[in-house]
Structure formats: structure tokens, C-alpha cells
Chain A
Amino acid sequence: MTAVLELSNITKRFGALTANENVSLSLAQGEILALLGENGAGKTTLMNILFGHYEADEGEVRVFGDPLPPGKPRAAIAAGVGMVHQHFTLAGNLTVLENVMLGSEPLGRLRSDTAAARKKLMAISERFGLPVDPDSKVSRLSVGERQRIEILKALYRDARILILDEPTAVLARPEAERLFETLRGMTKDGLSLIFISHKLHEVMAASDRVAVLRGGKMVAERTTALTSPAELAELMVGRRVERPVRQDQSIGAPVLVADRVTVTDDGDTKLDDVSFTVHAGEILGIVGVSGNGQGALGALLSGLMHPSSGTLTLDGIDAGHLGPRGLIRAGAARVPEDRHAEGAVGEMTVWENAVLERLRSTEFSKSGFVRRTDARAHAADLIKRFDVRGASPDTRIRLLSGGNMQKLILGRCLATGPRFLLANQPTRGLDEGAIAAVHAELLAARAEGAAILLISEELEEAVQLSDRIQAIVKGRLSQPVMAGEADSRKLGLMMAGVWEDSDAA
């Protein structure tokens, strides 16, 4: 085996934080290497150093034996390294061909050589089995197709080494499987691949070799065939973490009922005639590929969007037009999808964030003035009850880790003993320890009789926590299935929009 790529002793610091410490890694010709690690383990930083987005403080990158000058993405491209980012870097208003050509031509040229580019693109597309229509606008393509364009873009620049950052984050299970098949085919053509992931099952399914990063350090390298998911999980987290298990319990009366709700935004139908019921003491899981209406469903249940037809009721009262504070007064609590963008004001203190939703209630204000002592005490209480680490009421919330911030937000929701809880992607971006803690809190709230609607893109999580599951596809909801009867194949089909024939219950 010859190494096409070698990273030796890479160290990268951001201020006090060491993102990569003495990391060494090599990639063989025709190999698929999975870079596994939790969020914040330093995977993306390492790949950004390789690609020249960042400059390493120490260490060296060699491509095909030659050292790569640090901090120069163009040099990396010229050496044959291609990167497919997790968040696509395509211009939606341009065609596929234009996107692929973008940046590959000298600026000084007056006319683009479209014909030659088209020929080259089609040749690559055929050779690697990545079909595209070069003239369709990127904005009309599905996410799976867009990702294909990103890969083609790298191949068009003659990449021999391809780095994919969380390539399946936006794909449904079947799409992801197809992607890995394609990638496997590409290695036969001599390409070498690194993909970044924190999902064990796809690492097991798609890689030849696994490198595990934890806390910025390379902790292990394993040949995929000789390891197990359990071993990898332990290596990744650094200890055994077990997620809490849902106990069977009897389900109460309906709490939140959506009856044929449609939500439109600027003429676009975001939710199309959806119906669901969440009972007391029940978790209803909504699964689906990102971008299929979860955002609108979350906004509806947060009070930020309103039904244009149909009714939403909470304990029998109309809840469709209450707005955030009205919903909270009516007994709802909300965990937002994006805790940094919506859940918290980063530059404000923990106590301010803890009471922001209920600032105008008599509990925390009196004739327009904030009851600061009470608010601080409340925050201190949340910190204690929900085990928020590294925080005092006066800490700026931005300084908390993702898991601790989420525990605080969850605490803010659960402190009032809500009738209904919206948990929108409650564990996205959290490490295993924090995920276990969030799951435990959700299950405890369920045991106390809260009706919980869980929106999740993690099938495993949805199945572990939910009593019943519905799939969301293009703004429409499937019929519910009992979590016990849902295997991953059935759910995969549901998430792909195939449910009428199999589940016309």
C-alpha cells in the first residue's frame, strides 16, 4: 500500500482550545477511510487544515509524497485534493455546468469555454456513474442531486483524493446507501476517500478503515472488518454511555391535537393538511429527512407560524393563533431546533435567558421592572436541578457547551411542568453523554404526564424515545405507526414518502 496522503503530527490551537493535538493520519490508494468522532472532536478542523482553509500550528501535510504549502486551498486543489462540504457551496441561480466551472477558469478570460467544459463534465459523469443534467438550475435540484454536483465539482478539478464532511447529514437512508455505493465504485477507479461521520452504522457499512478522534487526539485506528459498533462507540465517547430506556406506561387523554392543519408562508405550502394527536404521557416522534417541513411544524408549535386552515388545539382551546407567549401561558413549552439561533441570546447571561420567555409574568417582573433577585434564583435552581455545568446565573450563555446550553433550555421548558412539550431536534450536535441526559429528562417529563412531540432526524433516537412515530415528507405526515412495530426498513420507506400502500391504517 502506498500512502497518497499523509498528515503528520498536526497540532492546531484556537486560543486556549486545542482542536487538534499531534494528529497523524495516512490514506492509502483506493481506500475509504472514515474519520469518526463526536462533535467538537476536531474532525472538521483536521480536514480544513488538510484542505488549506486553516493553517496548522505544527505538523505537515503530504500529498502523493510532496509537502503541501499550508493555508492555500488552491494548492490543495492543484495537488488533487477535493472537498465536499457539509453545507453545500453552490449558487442556486446558476446551472449545474456553470456551478462546476465556477472558479476553475482564469479570471482574465473574456469568454468561457463552455463546450469543452461540458464535454469534460459529461465524461466524468459517465465514468463515475454520476448522472446529471448540466443545464438544469441548481435551485431546482434535490439535496441528493446537489451533493452529486459537489462531488462532480471536485472531480472536475481532477481530484484524486476526496474528502466528504458528514455527507449523509442531509440524505435519507436510501439516498445515503446509494451514495456509498457510488463512492465504492469510485475507489475502483483509483480515487481515495475520507469521509467524516459520527454515525456508527454508516462507518461500519461503508469504510475500509476507521480513524477515531476524541478531544482533538487520534485515539484509535481500526480496520473496519475487525471492529464492532460497540467498540467504536466506546472509543468515540471514551467511556461506556448508555442511553436511558423508555418504559411502557399507559397513555392519557389527548393534549395537543392538529386537525387537517395547513401552513403557508409567502404562498408556499409548508405544511399540507397534517393531522396528529399527542396524548398525555406520550412521546410522538416525527421523523424525516431535513427540509421536509420540520421547520414549519416547529414554528407552528412554537407559536411563530399560524394555520391557514385547519385547527390546532391544546387541551381543547384553540392554540393556532396564540403566539409564543400565549402558548406558554396555555401550558406549552418549546425546545427550538437551533439553540444558538433561536434558543438563546448568546451575549446575554444565563439568568436573562432563563426567564426571557416569561419576562412579563408576575413571577419575574413587577410594574415593568425585572425582579432580578427572583430571576437569578430561578436560574440557579435550573442550573442545580438540570445539572448544567460550568455556569452561574451571571455567565454569558455563549460560553456554555452545547450540551449544557441544551440542558438549560430544557430546564427552562420543564420547570413549569408543561402540559405539552415540543422537542425539536433536541440532541442535534450533542455528544453521547449529553444525549443520554436529554433523553432521560424527556422520558422523566413523559412519566410525569407531559405530552411530547419529538422532531428528529435520528431514526435511532426517534425509535428509542417515541411511543408512536409519524414521518414527514414534503410537508405531509404519514399515518402513525407504533414504535415497537417500526423497523428501520419500514421507517426508511416512510421517510422516502412510501406509506400509502403499506400503511393505509
Chain B
Amino acid sequence: MRLERRETVPLALVATAPLVAIFAALVLAAGLIGAAGVNPLSAYAEMLRGALGSRLSITEMLTRATPLILTGLAAAVAFRARLWNIGGEGQFYVGALVTAWIGHSLGLPGPIGVAVLMVCGMAAGAVLLAGPAYLRLRFGVDEVVTTLLLNFIVILFIGLMIEGPLRDPLAFGWPQSVPVDGDYRLPDLVPRTRLHIGLLFAIAAAGVVWLVLTRTVFGVETRAAGLNARAAAFAGISLPRTIMGVALVSGALAGLAGAVEVMGVTGGVTTTMSPGFGYAGIVVAMLAALHPAGVVAAAIFVATVFVGADAMSRATGVPSFIADVIVALSLLTMLVALLFTTYRLRR
């Protein structure tokens, strides 16, 4: 048996790969659910009902999908250029922190303030990734290590801030930062739910990213650099500049996710506000085969699993950690599925 590269990759194959991968992940996770003494089919039914069964659950799921779209885009943009940004979590948190910090006492009118805060959150995320990108370009330091470790540093730093200077005095001792000014809370998209207009921002961001990647000089150069760095350099594309540009865009998208989450959902920053949005963004990007439109769909899948797992846990007693297992499994199965879109098995 050996792997053989396909001459062409049929589009239908690329489109079905994530579906097959998700199916395989669900089958594998079914074993674990079964081991917990629950019928996997009824567990998955509960999961679907919990995420999509009512108006409220759908809005909850979309609320959860909003930051995932943005962190997924962040990962997709970086991975296309072979910049392995594992620091989406940290960039999400600095975006959130800066937004809460500045947004608490920013004396600007509502919409302008929101725009300013989004830019601030993006800048914070961009700066956080620029460091590791610089270290890689200048000294060859592996960005997987630096971006991953920065996540922990950022979260510890936030812990420090919300115990100290940014502590919310009205939070009854909860470790939470001061909230953003009420003027900068994002309006609801559906009344009396948590779903806010950040979802529209995220979808718009996917559109913009798609436009940039396919239609601009920067996008084509990024793709060339990611696919064949030597040929790109031969054609006169500056690899350092491309990598740095990609790092700024990727970090900004993850930072935006944090800013939008603070303004749309939490108000202030806590060290537990993200159930791993940054890491799940990597899964989202891979499931989407790094395509911006796919990111939106993949984010909805991952959000369905997360939200549905809570409901399933309540109804069946299977621990909701199964959500993390399913998401992680779907990353692995997707990697295998991607392998089979470019290669075929031959005897």
C-alpha cells in the first residue's frame, strides 16, 4: 500500500471531506458516550435539540459561533502562509482586555466608540503576534512554541489586572474587570437573546478576508509564499514582509474576536470568558480547509457541538467535556480527510 498524489483534486472531494471527517469523529466519540452508559444516538439527538431545537438555542449557538468565526479566520489566514499561529487564544484575550480597559472610560459617542474599540482590540492582537513573527524572521525561533506559550502569559497577566488595577468594584468579589461603558455594548440582533450584531461583523470579516486573499496583490503573494517560498522569493516577493503582514492580519482577527465578545456578551474580562475560542479556531480553520466561507460553516458546527453538549450533559449525564473530545477528534479526522483529498491509496 502506498500513497499516490492525485493529478487533480476534484472539488466535490474537497467539499465532502469535512462532512466525512465530522461523521467519523462522531462515530469515534460514540464509543466514549457508549462507555459512559448512554445510547450514543439519543445523546446526539439531545445534542442537536440543545443547539438547534428552539429559537433560543439557535441564538445561543450563533452567539458562540461569532468569536469562533473570527478566530477561525485568524488561523486560516496564518496557516495559508505557513505561519503556525497557535496563539489565537492569547490574541483573543488581549483584544478583550484592551477593549474593556479603554472602553470603560472612553468619552466618545456610541458607534464611533465601538469602532475605535474594535480597532484597539485588533491592534492589540496584531501586536501580540508581531512579536513571535519577528522572532521567527530574525532568529528562526519556532512560532508554534512562542505563540502557544504567550497564551498562558496573557491569561496570567489578565488575572493580575483583574485582581488589581482593573478590578470591578461592583462585582461582589468576582474576579472580573470593569465593564465597557454601556454605550459600547453591541445591540441585540434578536431581541431578548444574547445574540448581538457581532455576528454580522464576523460574517463581514469572512467576506473581506476572502476578498483580500483572492483579489489583492497581498493575497496572491501570501498564497505564493505559503505554497512555494523559494518560487515566491525568486519572483521578488519579500518573504519577511509577507509573513509580517500575515501576522498582523491574523492577530488582528483574533483580537477582534475578543473585542466583539466583550462588547457583545460579557461586558468585562474574566480569565474564563473563553472556552478555548482560540484553540477551537484552529479546528474551525482546518475543517474549512482554510477557506473563509468554509470558516463560517465550520464555526457553526463547532458551536453546535459546544452548546449542544451542555444540553446533552444535563439530559443524559454524559460529561460535557465530550464536546472538547468531539472537536479534537474532528481535527484529527479532518487532517486524515485532507490527506486523502490530495493523495489516493494504491496497492
Contact = CB atoms under 8 A, between A and B. Distances in A.
A and B together in one complex: yes
Interface stretch (A20-28, A99-107, A351-359, A492-500): A351-359
Interface stretch (B43-51, B99-107, B142-150, B222-230): B222-230
Interface residues of A, number: 33
A328 B235 CA distance: 10
A404 to B, nearest CB: 15
A390 to B, nearest CB: 12
A240 B8 CA distance: 33
B224, B227, B232 interface centre (most CB from chain A within 10 Å): B224
A334 B234 CA distance: 9
Contact of B227 (A16, A55, A348): A348
A15 B4 contact: yes
Given A14-B4, A336-B234, A356 B217 contact: no
A343 interface: yes
Contact of B233 (A55, A304, A334, A346): A304
A426 interface: no
A323 interface: yes
B230 A342 contact: yes
Contacts of A359: 217, 220-221, 235
A285 interface: no
B231 A341 contact: yes
Interface string A326-358: 001000001010000111111110001000110
Interface residues of B, number: 25
B233 to A, nearest CB: 7
Nearest to A17: B7
Interface stretch (A173-181, A225-233, A367-375): A367-375
A370 B4 contact: no
A334 B223 CA distance: 22
Given A325-B236, A328-B236, A359-B217, A346 B227 contact: yes
Contact of B230 (A328, A341, A348, A368): A341
A345 B215 contact: no
A344 B233 contact: no
B210 interface: no
A328 B232 CA distance: 15
Nearest to A395: B8
A369 B236 CA distance: 18
Contact of B217 (A303, A343, A346, A369): A369
Contact of B215 (A325, A360, A370): A370
Nearest to A346: B228
Nearest to B234: A342
A343 B218 CA distance: 20
A262 B346 CA distance: 50
A347 B227 contact: yes
A347 B217 CA distance: 17
Given A345-B227, A365-B217, 4 more contacts: A334-B234, A346-B227, A359-B217, A370-B217
7 contacts: A15-B6, A325-B236, A342-B230, A356-B220, A368-B218, A369-B217, A370-B215
Interface of A: 14-16, 55, 302-304, 323-325, 328, 334, 336, 341-348, 352, 356-357, 359-360, 365, 368-370, 372, 396, 399
